[in-house]
A and B are shown apart, each in its own frame.
Chain A
Amino acid sequence: DTGVSQDPRHKITKRGQNVTFRCDPISEHNRLYWYRQTLGQGPEFLTYFQNEAQLEKSRLLSDRFSAERPKGSFSTLEIQRTEQGDSAMYLCASSLGGTGTDYGYTFGSGTRLTVV
């Protein structure tokens, strides 16, 4: 493993279109997180998986957003009917399990979404 991989790196889409991002975590990590980051801000939590179970979702994750992690491996984040306000960097991170947040996250390089 060379780290957390995210694909694509950049995505430009027209308003109203659907987009899907993929994240491949470090294989030993059973926890996977999605964050969103806008310019000048820190990452904002979207959702968290422990293995294949989605255990927590932020209220930022509207019903247009859905995330999956089939078989506890890679994860996808889909945004339906994109809006200009969805333009942001979408970051994926993974970590080992344990109690609470005992381990640091390994982040991917992110997917930059631009909605035009």
Chain B
Amino acid sequence: SQQGEEDPQALSIQEGENATMNCSYKTSINNLQWYRQNSGRGLVHLILIRSNEREKHSGRLRVTLDTSKKSSSLLITASRAADTASYFCATDLNSGYALNFGKGTSLLVTP
């Protein structure tokens, strides 16, 4: 079963706008990670946020984590057409040694 659930399932915006994706999970975690997947390719690691962190930045990406609400958000600022991809959040499986991925948010950025 997939612990993380992304919302929305699909998002369409124009270049220059910000894109926000949310992830909710069910059990306590050690960390939460976000990945990007371009169509038909493997996933690319974007950012990792630990359970004792509340916010993290990487370039145009900002991730927040609220462990009390068991939720995280990924903000992409000033989006570009190249940001078009599916975005997945991932949390620890119960064993703690592998990641459990959600179903993803499909982001379309139009010029």
Taking beta carbons and an 8 Å cutoff, which residues of A are in contact with B?
A: 4, 31, 33, 35, 40-45, 48, 50, 55-56, 91, 93, 99-110, 112
B100 at the interface (CB under 8 A from A): yes
Instruction: Report the minimal beta-carbon distance from B108 to chain A, rounded to whole angstroms.
Output: 15
Cross-interface CB contact of B95 among A4, A56, A99, A112, cutoff 8 Å: A56
Beta-carbon nearest neighbor of A47 in chain B: B98
> B46: nearest residue on chain A (CB-CB)?
A104
Q: Judging by beta carbons under 8 Å apart, are A104 and B101 in contact?
A: no
A107 contacts which of B4, B43, B100 (Cβ < 8 Å)? Answer: B43
How many Å lie between the Cα of A99 and that of B30 in the bound state? 10
Q: A102-B31, A107-B44 are in contact. List 15 more A-B contacts (CB 8 A).
A: A33-B98, A42-B88, A42-B101, A42-B102, A56-B95, A91-B43, A101-B30, A103-B48, A105-B43, A105-B45, A105-B99, A107-B42, A108-B42, A109-B41, A112-B40
Q: How far is the CB of B105 from chain A (nearest CB, A)?
A: 10
Give me the 7 closest cross-chain CB pairs, A-B, nearest first. A104-B45, A107-B42, A42-B101, A100-B96, A107-B43, A109-B42, A43-B101
CA distance A41 to B1 in the complex (A): 12
- Asked if residues B98 and A56 are in contact (CB atoms below 8 Å), the reply is yes
A45 x B41 contact (CB < 8 A) = no
Whether the Cβ atoms of A45 and B45 lie closer than 8 Å is no
A33 to B79, CA, bound (A): 31
Residues of B within 8 A of A102 (CB): 30-31, 48
**Bound Cα distance from A109 to B41, whole angstroms:** 5
Q: Report the separation of the CA atoms of residues A43 and B87 in the bound assembly, to the nearest whole angstrom.
A: 12
Q: What separation, in Å, do the CA atoms of A33 and B99 have in the docked complex?
A: 9
Residues A101 and B97 in contact, CB atoms below 8 Å apart: yes
Q: Given A42-B88, A91-B43, A109-B42, is A104 in contact with B97 using a C-beta cutoff of 8 Å?
A: no
Q: Looking across the interface, which residue of chain A has its beta carbon closest to that of B50?
A: A102
Which of B31, B43, B88, B103 contacts A101, CB < 8 Å? B31
CB distance from B44 to the nearest CB of A (A): 7
| Candidates B2, B43, B88, B97; contact of A55 at CB < 8 Å | B97
